[in-house]
């Protein structure tokens, strides 16, 4: 074991934080931040749809009610697709977090390295199991609860390792002691008081988001005149939505209670962070109200609007989360330390590619989503 005080003596004499990248940012950091909020929100929405889909699938599976089979088929069939979106939409924020907070993110990734590297086999396991379920559900009747359960646990572990990494990247004062105690990367940030409420703050809305996905599927079924299935979907989906949002509200109160005093004072100081907090709550409430309207309507629009409101609420959460991160890091780092050497041409190419990619994504979703709802009764 390495002597902790010796390491501290060596490192505190030097900079407490690896130096900033001398190449600097290619665009003003605010643009990077906005792009990271947008792509991170898409990642979290896809993650919520998939994790929530697996949770609701298991809930219905355990209740063994044949009447809910179409919903189970819809949810189970959507898991591999949802997973592909989680991974694809996780890449852009991964690039942005490395550009904006590279010194912190790399350091914390190394400290939890042995767990961090497990993300890859866990991802393959979850993805493989979700496909196994989809491809064998007609030929093999048993074992699907266990398959989805293990896939869900693998996903939750990945999320948990992410929360460990991000919270550790925000608290550099812990790094030296942690490295000295376990230089083999076998550390987790378990002493962090916000760890579990933060994890649950991201996971609990999954039940609401997948509930919204079920209502949306119900509205497509109505459109095709399959009213019996449509009302089954809508009545189940609308019950899931408040469960998810209420659980998230409980986690929000929990995290507020354990945030360091200076951070909670910052969040409630009547600044842009407070505006984001209030806007997020209002948007989530609007999403829930629209979900109620959608449950009693045969039209697609209310369900779609409800999902858009939920996405906007997630966006506010993403932006607030970043402000809180900057507040944690304020004593040792701020984005203005990094030189800006603009490369607008490169940025233009990036934005054009992003818009093209998003357009393709929307077209694909509009084609695939109704198909998923339609395949539910087979
Ligand atoms: C498959 C299951 C996954 C789950 C359940 C999950 C969940 C989460 C959660 C809860 C966070 C927030 C962490 C925090 O702020 O404390 C997060 C952040 C993040 N996730 Fe995922 N994730 C998954 C997979 C992935 C994958 C495969 C990628 C990359 C390809 C990815 C990229 C990211 C990035 C980059 C962040 C942090 C962004 C930032 O700090 O700006 N995630 N994820």
Query: Does residue 166's CB lie within 6 angstroms of at least one atom of ligand 1?
Result: yes
pLDDT band at 367 (very low <50, low <70, confident <90, very high): confident
Split into its structural domains, the chain has a count of 1
Is the C-beta atom of 151 inside 6 A of ligand 1? no
Given this model, what pLDDT does residue 308 score?
97
In terms of pLDDT, which residue wins out, 300 or 6? 300
Q: Given pLDDT bands bounded at 50, 70 and 90, which one contains residue 20? A: confident
Has residue 62 been placed in a domain?
Answer: yes
pLDDT tops 90 at residue 18: no
Residues 4 and 192: their CA atoms lie apart, in Å, by 20
Q: What is the pLDDT of residue 305?
A: 98
Is 21 within the bounds of a domain? no
Where in the sequence is the domain holding 147, given as residue range(s)? 26-377
Q: What is the pLDDT of residue 15?
A: 47
In a domain, 16, yes or no: no
299: CB partners within 8 A, 6+ apart: 219, 222
Tokens of 81: 């697709």
Atom of ligand 1 at shortest range from CA of 126: 1
- Residues in Cβ contact with 210 at an 8 Å cutoff, skipping those fewer than 6 apart: 48, 49, 50, 51, 52, 53, 55, 56, 75, 240
Q: In this structure, which residue's CA is closest to atom 32 in ligand 1?
A: 90
**How sure is the predictor about 133, in pLDDT bands with cuts at 50, 70 and 90?**
very high
Ligand 1 site, residue 162, Cβ cutoff 6 A: yes
Q: How far apart are CA 121 and CA 293, in angstroms?
A: 42
Ligand 1 centroid to Cα of residue 93, in Å, is 8
DSSP designation for 317: H
pLDDT > 70 in the chain, percent: 94
**pLDDT higher than threshold 50 for residue 139:** yes
Q: Which of these, 331, 360, 291, lies nearest to 16 by C-alpha position?
A: 331
Cα 90 to averaged position of ligand 1 atoms, centre (Å): 6
Q: 3-class SS at 87?
A: helix
2 belongs to a structural domain: no
Residue 28 has a pLDDT of 96
Tens-digit pLDDT profile for residues 191-250: 999 999 999 999 999 999 999 999 999 999 998 899 999 999 999 999 999 999 999 999
Tokens read off for 275: 């505006």
Q: How confident is the model at residue 366 (pLDDT cuts 50, 70, 90)?
A: confident
Q: What digits encode the pLDDT tens for the residues 36-45?
A: 999 999 999 9
186 CA from centroid of ligand 1 (Å): 20
pLDDT higher than threshold 60 for residue 4: no
Q: In this predicted structure, which of 119-123, 161-165, 221-225, 255-259 has the lowest mean pLDDT?
A: 221-225
CB distance 43 to ligand 1 below 6 Å: yes
How high is the pLDDT of residue 368?
A: 80
Q: Is the distance from the beta carbon of residue 93 to the nearest atom of ligand 1 less than 6 Å?
A: yes
Average pLDDT over residues 106-111: 97
Which of 33, 41, 43 should be mutated for ligand 1, with most atoms under 8 A from CB?
43
Inform me whether the pLDDT recorded for 259 exceeds 90.
yes
159 CB within 6 A, ligand 1? yes
How close is the Cα of 84 to the center of ligand 1, in Å?
13
| Mean pLDDT score, 160-186 | 96
Q: Whose CA is nearest to atom 38 of ligand 1?
A: 93
Q: Residue 266: which pLDDT band, with cuts at 50, 70 and 90?
A: very high
The answer to the question of residue 299 being in a domain is yes
Residue 126 to residues 81, 154, 162, 291, 370, Cα–Cα distance (Å): 12, 6, 16, 29, 24
Query: Whose alpha carbon is nearest atom 19 of ligand 1?
Result: 162
In a domain, residue 1? The reply is: no
Determine the atom of ligand 1 nearest the C-alpha atom of 96: 41
Question: Average per-residue pLDDT in the chain?
Answer: 93
Confirm or reject: Cβ of 86 under 6 Å from ligand 1.
yes
Residue 73 CB less than 6 A away from ligand 1: no
User: In which band, very low, low, confident or very high, does the pLDDT at 13 lie, cut at 50, 70 and 90?
Assistant: very low
Q: Is the pLDDT of residue 378 over 70?
A: no
Q: Is 47 in the pocket of ligand 1 (CB under 6 A)?
A: yes
In the predicted structure, residue 8 carries a pLDDT above the cut 60: no
Q: How far, in whole angstroms, is CA 177 from its chain's centroid?
A: 30
Q: Best mutation site among 162, 188, 205 for ligand 1, i.e. most ligand atoms within 8 A of its Cβ? A: 162
Rg of the chain over Cα atoms, rounded to whole angstroms, equals: 22
pLDDT of 16 > 90? The answer is no
Q: Ligand 1 in contact with 52 (CB < 6 A)?
A: no
365: Cβ below 6 Å to ligand 1? no
Distance 78 CA to ligand 1 centre (A): 20
> Is there a domain that residue 124 lies in?
yes
Q: Is residue 78 a contact partner of residue 53, using CB atoms and an 8 Å limit? A: yes
Question: pLDDT tens across 298-349, in order?
Answer: 999 999 999 999 999 999 999 999 999 999 999 999 999 999 999 999 999 9
Pure H helices in 112-193: 113-116, 119-136, 144-169, 175-181
Q: Decide whether any atom of ligand 1 lies within 6 Å of the 204 Cβ.
A: no
Half-sphere exposure of 306 (CA within 13 A, CB side): 31
Q: Which of 90, 122, 65, 352 is nearest to 236 (CA)?
A: 65
Nearest by Cα to 166 from 111, 243, 127: 111
In this structure, is residue 262 part of a structural domain? yes
87 close to ligand 1 (CB < 6 Angstrom): yes
Q: Whose CA is nearest to atom 29 of ligand 1?
A: 90
pLDDT at residue 178 is higher than 70? yes
Report the nearest-CA residue for atom 34 of ligand 1.
94
What pLDDT is attached to residue 11? 52
Whether 14 shows a pLDDT value over 90: the answer reads no
The more confidently predicted of residues 135 and 141 is: 135
């Amino acid at each position: 074991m390495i002597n902790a005080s010796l390491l501290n003596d060596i490192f505190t004499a030097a900079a407490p934080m690896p130096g900033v990248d001398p190449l600097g940012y290619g665009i003003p950091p605010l643009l990077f931040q906005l792009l990271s909020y947008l792509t991170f929100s898409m990642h979290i929405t896809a993650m919520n749809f998939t994790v929530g889909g697996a949770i609701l699938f298991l809930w219905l599976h355990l209740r063994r009610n044949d009447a809910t089979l179409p919903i189970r088929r819809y949810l189970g069939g959507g898991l591999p697709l949802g997973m592909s979106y989680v991974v694809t939409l996780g890449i852009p924020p991964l690039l942005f977090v490395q550009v904006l907070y590279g010194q912190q993110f790399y350091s914390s990734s190394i400290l939890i390295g042995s767990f961090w590297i497990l993300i890859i086999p866990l991802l393959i396991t979850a993805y493989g199991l979700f496909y196994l379920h989809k491809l064998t559900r007609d030929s093999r009747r048993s074992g699907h609860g266990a398959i989805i359960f293990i896939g869900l646990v693998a996903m939750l572990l990945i999320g948990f390792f992410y929360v460990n990494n991000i919270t550790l990247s925000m608290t550099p004062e812990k790094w030296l002691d942690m490295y000295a105690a376990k230089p083999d990367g076998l550390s987790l940030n378990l002493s962090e008081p916000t760890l579990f409420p933060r994890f649950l703050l991201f996971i609990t809305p999954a039940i609401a988001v997948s509930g919204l996905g079920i209502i949306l599927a119900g509205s497509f079924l109505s459109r095709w005149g399959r009213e019996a299935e449509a009302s089954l979907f809508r009545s189940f989906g609308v019950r899931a939505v408040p469960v998810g949002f209420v659980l998230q509200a409980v986690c929000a109160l929990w995290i507020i209670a354990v945030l360091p005093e200076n951070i909670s004072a910052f969040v409630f100081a009547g600044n842009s962070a407070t505006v984001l907090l209030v806007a997020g709550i209002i948007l989530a409430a609007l999403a829930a109200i629209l979900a109620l309207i959608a449950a009693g309507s045969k039209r697609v629009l209310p369900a779609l609007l409800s999902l858009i409101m939920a996405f906007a609420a997630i966006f506010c959460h993403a932006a607030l989360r970043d402000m809180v991160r900057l507040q944690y890091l304020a004593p040792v780092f701020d984005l203005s330390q990094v030189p800006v050497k603009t490369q607008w041409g490169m940025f233009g190419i990036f934005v054009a590619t992003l818009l093209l990619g998003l357009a393709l994504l929307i077209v694909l979703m509009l084609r695939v989503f109704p198909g998923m709802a339609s395949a539910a009764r087979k």
